[in-house]
A and B are shown apart, each in its own frame.
Chain A
């Protein structure tokens, strides 16, 4: 199975800060990586597919990059509504897997 390791597991940042979350895959997955945002009690929301493709309606402050084994999700200017848990997800090989999540708190 492909393991995804996210870092950090949690972080606290201020409105306006630039935030970066990293996802490392245990083996190469090309660009078959997605990022999800999940708010408490809600279904996950797709932010990024194919490592860097922004989903429709997602604010442009969100961006994704990387290929192979190293990926990043960047929020260029943190907003209060970005309070959530973020997950990376590989769909290169079965079983599909997720990172353990990064809980983002607003200072």
Chain B
């Protein structure tokens, strides 16, 4: 069974930092690209960051570029999102996600449960 267990969310003051984690089990983590997405309260979905399976290719949304850093620990099946210089506009539920892959006719994408990040003084 695939599990993507997220942690690290919470309340942080403007200008502060937070590190999100996503612990993966049930598939060979090192073989897959991963993404972070977020959803502000009452709003739609927004892509935040991409990291290739080896970590050699990384992309960010303009809204977080220079402030957020994505990384991964393939030895321990962990995905991270380091968030610095947080503002109220970063308040959202953050999701880690593995894109859909098809194997033997079965296609699956997986998302974490989401963690709420609230930036407020």
CB within 8 Å of A: which B46-85 residues:
46-47, 50, 59, 61-62
Number of interface residues of A (CB under 8 A): 24
Cβ contact within 8 Å between B35 and A96: yes
The reply to whether B100 and A43 contact each other, CB–CB distance below 8 Å, is no
A34 within 8 A of B: yes
Q: In the assembled complex, how far is the CB of residue A9 from the closest CB belonging to chain B, in whole angstroms?
A: 11
Spot the interface stretch: B9-17, B20-28, B110-118.
Answer: B110-118
B95 within 8 A of A: yes
A55–B111 CA distance with the chains assembled, in angstroms? 13
Q: How far is the CA of A99 from the CA of B44 in the complex (A)?
A: 8
| Interface residue? A76 (CB, 8 A) | no
Q: Is the CB of A53 within 8 A of B100?
A: yes
Secondary structure call for the B interface? strand
**Bound: A36/B99 CA distance, A:** 12
Could you count the A-B residue pairs with CB atoms below 8 Å apart for me: how many are there? Answer: 57
Q: Which residues of A contact B47 (CB under 8 A)?
A: 95-98
Residue of A nearest to B46 (CB): A98
Interface size class of B (residues with CB under 8 A): 20 to 34
Return the chain A residue nearest B35 by Cβ.
A96
Indicate whether A46 sits within 8 Å of B100 (C-beta atoms), given known contacts A87-B44, A95-B62, A98-B45.
yes
Are B100's CB and A34's CB within 8 A? Answer: yes
* Cβ-defined contact, B114 with A43, below 8 A: yes
| Bound-state Cα–Cα, A40 to B82, Å | 27
- Give the contacting residue for A53; candidates B62, B95, B107, B114; CB below 8 A: B107
Interface residues of A (CB under 8 A from B): 34, 36, 38, 43-46, 49-50, 53-56, 87, 89, 91, 94-101
Could you write out 22 A-B pairs with CB less than 8 Å apart?
A36-B45, A43-B111, A43-B112, A44-B45, A46-B111, A49-B109, A53-B102, A54-B107, A55-B100, A55-B107, A55-B108, A56-B106, A87-B45, A94-B59, A95-B47, A95-B59, A95-B61, A95-B62, A98-B45, A98-B47, A99-B44, A101-B44
